[in-house]
Every structure is written in C-alpha cells, then in structure tokens.
Amino acid sequence: MNKFKERLILERKIYFVALIILIILTIILIKKNVIVIVSNNSDENLLDFVLGVRLGIVVGCIFNVLFLLVRSHYTLTNKERFEKCYVKANDERRKHIMQNVESMTMKLLFVILVIALIVATFLNTIVAVTIISVLALIRIIYGITYFYYRSKF
Amino acid sequence: MKNKICELRRSKGLSQEALAKEVGVTRQTINSIEKGKYIASLPLAYKISAYFDLKIEVVFDFSELESDDE
C-alpha cells in the first residue's frame, strides 16, 4: 500500500508542475500575442478560428490537469476512496482485461493500417510511404519491447 | 475452471463484496472466478484458499488440467 501511496504523491506533484507550466504557457501565448503576428497576412475568420482552437486546447488541458490534481489529492486524503482505488489499481482481472484490450487494439490497428496501405498504394504514393513508415516503426517498437521483456522474465 | 468458492462463501454467510475486500480484489473478480469465466492467479488462489483455511486443490478443481495433459 505504501508503494501505491508514493505513486499517488508523485502523480500529484507531476500534475501540479504540469498545471503551472500550462498556466505559464497560456500567459506567454496571450502576452506575446503569437496569433497577432500571423494576423497581418491572414483572413479574419481564419484568425478567429485559430485563436478559438488554441484557447480551447489550452483551457481544456488546464481543466483536465486540474481535475486530475484534485482527484489524486482527494484520493490521498480520503481513506475510503484510497482503499477503493488501491483495490481497483491492483485488481488482477482488471489488469488482465487491460492487457487484452491493449493487445487487441494493437493487432486491429496493424490490420487497419495494412488495409489502408493497400488502398493508398493505388491512390497516393506519399500517404503509402507514410503508412509503410508507421508500420515499420510499430514492428521496430514491437521487436524492442519483445527483447526487453524476454530478458526481463 | 470449476471451484467451490460460492459454496464456501455461502457457508460462511459472506457476500461477494466482503470476500473481495478480504482478499484485496473487486467484487466483479470474485463473481468471474465463481462463474469460471476468469482463472485466478496463483497468489490470489492462495489468498482465497488461505482465507477459507483450505488447500488450493480443495477450493479449485484441477481435474480439467489433468485431463488436458493426458
């Protein structure tokens, strides 16, 4: 249980630092008027759209991190919730489900990419090359992780 | 894999939730093990057996594995 508590404390620290970084980033973006520089040669509607999307992403990230920070703090301070989360985090059936979900997702992603590659070969060479690169990267990462876990267990 | 968890649990008057709390898993895990949908790991099987003060082979039925080997 101590390990879990230490992990939660570390998570809380990370969320706190991430929140500060995001707030500083937002202030810099607003103060330096990064978007205004683009505005000289841009369409007004496009500028509004870019501004909205950027602001939306940053505010969304801030609220998301804030939510995670409050949640981890609440978990650490509330004993009942802490025990519930501990059981949930260490439940072997849940871990088994997650492993299967991740493995199946990767397999399906690979199959979808192969189908996309076949289609893209007839339509666009650049897209086809990009898909081949992604597939190669997936296989390389698979190989590296396989050798890592083979030596580990 | 068949097991006697449900019988043992009922004989002690325990709910799935209470047993789950005792062995440190969720109620859903106990439910899945009882129904034979999920096979418990060795540490969890040991915990459950130790809780009922019985041997693992008494709580869990390994005859399926034995017949698979033959």
Interchain CB distance below 8 Å, B20 and A87: yes
Q: Are A54 and A35 in contact (CB under 8 A)?
A: yes
Query: Does ipTM top 0.95?
Result: no
Confidence at residue A35, expressed as pLDDT on a 0 to 100 scale: 52
Confirm or reject contact between A88 and chain B (CB < 8 A): yes
Q: pTM for the complete prediction?
A: 0.72
Is the sign of the CA dihedral B29, B34, B37, B40 positive or negative? positive
b vs e for B46-69, b when ≥16 Cβ sit within 10 Å of the residue's Cβ? Answer: eebbebbeeeeeebbeeeeeeeee
Q: Are B20 and A88 in contact (CB under 8 A)?
A: no
Interchain CB distance below 8 Å, B26 and A92: no
Q: Which residues from chain A sit within 8 angstroms of residue B28, using beta carbons?
A: 93
pLDDT digits (tens, 9 = 90+) for A18-65: 999 988 888 887 776 655 555 555 566 777 777 778 778 888 999 999
b vs e for A72-91, b when ≥16 Cβ sit within 10 Å of the residue's Cβ? Answer: bbebbeeeeebeebbbeeeb
